[in-house]
Every structure is written in structure tokens, then in C-alpha cells.
Chain A
């Protein structure tokens, strides 16, 4: 009875415990209400992250690479223009921090089998030089390198007989011919003011590369299928780090720092197959410099224009991987000018900054052409080479791109770094006098030949 009164007090509409059926709850066929997530249009951090996620999904879901590139560079905002050939002091340190690159002096220790044997006159210096004058190359890799190189140099020669030895004398004569033709035999007027580089070293470099590539294409089938570009354009656009907007109607908002490289190498060789990786993807060969200051202190200036990503040819071109770039330093960055202003240590900085910036832009643009971007990081390393010269002095660079994820969110868990191997600048010859090239340096020519003969293992 007490329970009856309790039930009447509770009222007729109330459901009591005995009326509910204890058992498995019936699963709803579909949720009655949409999921509770942050708004898209609100002025809040959650809304901003939702908008970013929607943008990332749109780029991931893009059907073609052209569509991905179009969406990636759609929003135009003021960005820093990074010039690979710059007179800014210590620019290579800043560029390494922008692109997360480790600089390793010397050339990477290549496999001895990748080097074809050289003619007898140059055999011993070649075998001794096989691990390259790489100071930082680990001693363990050097010792097997030196032991392997003489063995490999001797065995494939007589055993296979298919790879004839490189005639260094013939190549030297080709180079000297091009040099003398441009600087001695051809009757040229005096160069216009500040146009010295276009007068002699420019045509000499073009002639040199085209003749060397043509003569070595019989040995390297990749060169035979390559495409040589004259004065191409290479562009890349990326985000790195964050800053707070200082002036304007967007004042106070946290924005990514945007960079753009627009580069015009003197010559470029593009190939249909990718160069092999030098070291594994996750290797750590050094430290990336960390610079706390804003990039405008370098000095670097902001401009707003098209966000372009370009390797030298459009996406549909079969030669979509890069092999070697050749850069000519302008008159503004001559050696004599640095020596006159007592800035001798900045001479090498110019070569290094040019190599790092140009190669980063090229390899990253190649990776974007394959569909990778900062949210979809590369799964295989992209390797390219470059030669930076001012007509007489040559510096060689080899770049391995291991990561594209440089934005503020993606760099948090990113342990990979890009690696650049680079040499100091060495003269190819001492002086050209009376139809003779004095003091020709065979090492530089050999390094150039090795660069051109670099190819994947299968070929």
C-alpha cells in the first residue's frame, strides 16, 4: 500500500524502474543529431583549425597535380622573396634555417662502382681521390671506399670491357677549345658596363656543358634521354614558422611566414628518371641553425604576387626529375668586389647560399610535381646537383630533400632534415694567355664529369 501511494505521488506520467526493460540498449540505426563540432565561420581558434582542416582535405582530394598546385598557391598574401644570389652577409646560415638544411662540407661518399674507370694517365689520382676530398666523411666509409675503388677500377675494365675508360685528355681539350674560342679567338667588343659575365663566362659555360653532355651521353644513357634548358625558371613557395601581423586590418593575427624563391639558373639538365638517394631518408648528419630574429633582419623584403611552383617545365613533361643545375654569379657578386671591401669570408657564403636556395627550390618543386606537399611528406628522397661558378671558380653542390613539412604544425613532430653537400670554390684554370690555357685543374673537370655521369643504379 505504501508503494501504491508512492506511485500515485510520483504521478501517472512518470516511468518507474519496473516499467523499463533491463537488457541490452537498442543501438540507433543512425545518430539522431549531427556531430557537435566547432563552427566554421566563427572568429575563434577552433574555427580556424576547422577551416585549415577543410582546406587540407580539399588539397588531399584534388584529382590532378595541377589542381593541387592551384589550390596550394591560391591565397596570395605578402611573402618574403628569397634570392639565391644575394649580397646579404651570412645569408647561407639564414637560408639553412628557412629550409631546414644541414650543410656537410665536401662531396658525399659515392659507391665506387658508380665511378667508371679513367684513362691510365689519370688512374692513380682518380683512385686516390675516389672518396672525394670530403673532410667530414666518416672514416669507416672512407676506408672501404679506398679499398674498393682500385679493385673496382681494375676489375670492370678488363673483365667487362663494355665500359671504355674516360679519356680525360679529350675532355680537357674540349674544355680548352670552348674557353679559348670564347675568350681568345672570337673577336668581341669591350663588354658593356657591369655586363662582364654575359660577355665571356656565360657563353663559355653554355658551350662547355652542351659539349660535355653530348660527349658523355654515350656513356650515360640518362643524359641521352635528358632535356637541357637554357636560362629556365625555377620557382617554389612554402611556409615556415609563424609571426604576428604588425600593421593593417589583420593586425594581431598569427600568420605563417611565407617565402618564395624565383630563380633563373644559367643551364639546367632535367631527366626522366630520378637520381638515387645518397643517404637514407631519416639520417641525421648535423644541426640546423636556429635564428630567433625575423627574416627581415637579413635583410629580406616582403612582396605579394603569384605563388608559383615550377621546375622548368610543366607537369606533363616526361623529364620531371632534376639532374644538374649550372649557376653563373652576376657582376654584383664578383670576387674582386669582396676583396676590395675586405669581406673575404663572404665569397664562399655567396656560393653556398646560391647552392642551398636554388637546389632546395628545385628539389621541393620536383616533389610537389609528384604530388607531395607539406601535409603529405615525401616518401623517398629527391636528389639533385648544382654547379655554381663565376666563370673561373667552380663550386659543386649535391642536395637531398628528405622533408617538405616545414609549416608550424607539421614541423613539430618532424625529425627529418634536408642535407646539402658542398665544396669550396676551386679555379678551373689560372689564366688564358696567347692561345694557351695555363694552370688547368683536372680535379675540377673530373668532378664535373662525375656529376654529369651520375645516374640511377638500374641504368
Chain B
């Protein structure tokens, strides 16, 4: 950003090139806290103004941290492969609002046909496995062993 000096103009950004991604928190967060992955160049003021001006979300507090991406994995040429760093923002909503990250993959209701097909498939797999293993009464001894 251009340096601000006393008497200078207020910096206004009309079409920001930032993107914020709301993520599901890895550890349980309080009800009023939303977790975002934001661009590394965004500041807490940027995040607050972005949410308030563009999305009309009342923001009470913002805390940020930078997550270091590990550099331990190696590719086929034994070079280290780095996972990218990213900034995480924890935004506490104002006016008593709460947010719960939605369940993006709910279990769909199956109709009778799919359920019966699934049951048939499970039973068939079980029978195949039993055939592979052999008689349990022999205690793991192969069937070619004997008199």
C-alpha cells in the first residue's frame, strides 16, 4: 500500500483483488467465530472493511495468523516440495450473531431399490471373502496340507 502521511488522501479500494474463503474450523470454535482463509497481504482492517462494506456482516473483532506450509515432502527427483503458506482469520461477529459451518455432504436418503442393491452387494462381498479365507475350523492351516 502507498505510505500514508499526515494531510494525505484516504486510501480507498473500490474493486479489491482479495478473496476470502470460509472454512470449517479444525478445532471447535465458539458460536460467534467464523474461520476464513485470506490472502497473505490482507490486514485485520482490510478483513473488517471487506466483510462490512461488501457483505454487510457486522464484525466485532478480527484475529489473524499465518499458517506455514510444510517443506518436508520430496518429489521423484528428491527435491523438497513446499505446501503454500496461507493466512487464517478468526472473525467474531457483532450484534450477537452466530455461525455454524454447514454440513456440505449430508447423507442422502436412499430409496428401496438402492438399499436392497447395497445389501445384496454387501452379502456377496462377504461370501467371496469367506471363500477366500477357507474353513475356519482348520485354524488357518492351508487346505493342501493333510493326508
With contacts A292-B28, A343-B60 known, is A297 near B94, CB below 8 A? no
Within 8 Å by CB of B63, from A293, A294, A299, A341, lies: A299
Contact present for B94 and A342 (CB under 8 Å): yes
> Quick one: CB contact mask for A85-110 with B, threshold 8 Å, 1 for yes?
00011000000000000000000000
Given contacts A89-B60, A89-B61, A299-B63, contact A343 B30 (CB under 8 A): no
Contacting residue for A89 out of B27, B29, B58, B92, CB 8 A: B92
Say yes or no: A297 contacts B30, CB within 8 Å: yes
Q: Are A293 and B58 CB-contacts (below 8 A) given A89-B92, A342-B94, A343-B94?
A: no
Contact assessment for B29 and A297 in the assembled complex, using a CB-CB cutoff below 8 Å: yes
- From residue 272 to 326 of chain A, which have CB atoms closer than 8 A to chain B? 291-294, 297, 299
Give CA–CA (A217, B134) in the complex, Å. Answer: 96
Name the interface size band of chain B.
Answer: 10 to 19
A79 and B60 alpha carbons, distance in the complex (Å): 27
A293 to B94, CA, bound (A): 19
Total A-B contacts with CB atoms under 8 angstroms apart: 21
Chain A residues in 8 Å Cβ range of B29: 293, 297
Task: Tell me the chain B residues, 70-103 only, with Cβ under 8 Å from chain A.
Answer: 92, 94
Residue of B nearest to A342 (CB): B94
Query: Which of B27, B30, B58, B94 has the most chain A CB atoms inside 10 A of its CB?
Result: B30
Residues of B contacting A346 in the complex (Cβ-Cβ under 8 angstroms): 60
Residue of A nearest to B25 (CB): A297
> What residue of chain B has the Cβ atom nearest to residue A292's Cβ?
B28
Nearest Cβ on chain A to B67's Cβ, whole angstroms = 15
- Taking a contact as CB atoms closer than 8 A, the residue among B30, B61, B92 that contacts A293 in the complex is B30
B92 to chain A minimum Cβ distance, whole angstroms, is: 6
Contacts of A294 in B (CB 8 A): 27
What is the bound-complex CA distance between A299 and B90, given in angstroms? 11
Whether the pair A293, B60 counts as a contact (CB closer than 8 A) is: no
Chain B, Cβ-Cβ closest to A293: B30
- Interface size bracket, A side: 10 to 19
Contact B58 A297 (CB under 8 A): no
**CA of A249 to CA of B63, assembled, Å:** 29
Interface of A is mostly: loop
A200–B94 alpha-carbon span in the complex (Å): 33
The smallest beta-carbon distance between A10 and chain B, in angstroms, is 43
A293 to B28 alpha-carbon distance, docked (Å): 7
Chain B's closest residue to A346 (CB) is B60
A380 to B24, CA, bound (A): 48
Least Cβ distance of A443 to chain B in Å?
30
Q: A341 contacts which chain B residues (CB < 8 A)?
A: 60
Once the chains are docked, how many angstroms separate the CA of A291 from the CA of B63?
Answer: 21
For A299, list chain B residues within 8 Å (CB).
63
A297 vs B27: C-alpha distance when bound (angstroms): 10
- Which residues on the A side are within 8 Å of B61 (C-beta)? 88-89
Residues of A328-355 whose CB lies within 8 A of B? 341-343, 346
Measured CB to CB, the closest approach of chain B to A251, in angstroms, equals 16
CB–CB B28/A342 < 8 A: no
Least CB distance, B107 to chain A, in whole angstroms: 25
User: Closest CB-CB distance, A70 to chain B, in whole Å?
Assistant: 36
Question: Closest CB of chain A to B53's CB: distance in Å?
Answer: 14
Cα separation A88 to B90 with both chains bound (whole Å): 13
Of chain B, the residue at the smallest CB distance from A294 is: B27
CA–CA, A297 to B29, complex, Å?
7
B residues within 8 A CB of A88?
Answer: 61
Interface bits B55-69 vs A (CB < 8 Å: 1, else 0): 000101101000000
Q: How far is the CB of B50 from chain A (nearest CB, A)?
A: 16
Contacts of B30 in A (CB 8 A): 291, 293, 297
- Interchain CB contact under 8 A, B58 and A342: yes
**B27 closest partner in A (C-beta):** A294
Chain A residues contacting B32 (CB-CB under 8 Å) are: 89
Nearest CB on B from A80, distance (A): 16
Which residues of chain B come closer than 8 Å to A293, judged between CB atoms? 28-30
- What are the interface flags for B17-46 relative to A under an 8 Å C-beta threshold, 1 for contact and 0 otherwise? 000000000011110110000000000000
Inside 8 A of A297's CB, which chain B residues have their CB?
29-30, 33
Residue of B nearest to A88 (CB): B61
CB distance from A14 to the nearest CB of B (A): 44
B97-130 contacts to A, CB under 8 A, are none
Task: Please give the distance in Å from A83's CB to the nearest CB on chain B.
Answer: 15
The distance in angstroms between the C-alpha atoms of A341 and B63, with both chains bound, is 16
Inside 8 A of B94's CB, which chain A residues have their CB?
A: 342-343
CA distance A15 to B32 in the complex (A): 80
Chain B residue at minimum C-beta to C-beta distance from A94: B30
A sample of 6 more A-B contacts (CB under 8 A), given A89-B61, A293-B28, A299-B63, is: A292-B28, A293-B29, A293-B30, A294-B27, A341-B60, A342-B58
Chain B residues in the interface with A (C-beta under 8 A): 27-30, 32-33, 58, 60-61, 63, 92, 94
Nearest 4 A/B pairs, CB to CB: A297-B30, A293-B30, A89-B60, A89-B92
Could you name 19 residue pairs across A and B whose Cβ atoms are closer than 8 Å? Answer: A88-B61, A89-B32, A89-B61, A89-B92, A291-B30, A292-B28, A293-B28, A293-B29, A293-B30, A294-B27, A297-B29, A297-B30, A297-B33, A299-B63, A341-B60, A342-B58, A342-B94, A343-B94, A346-B60
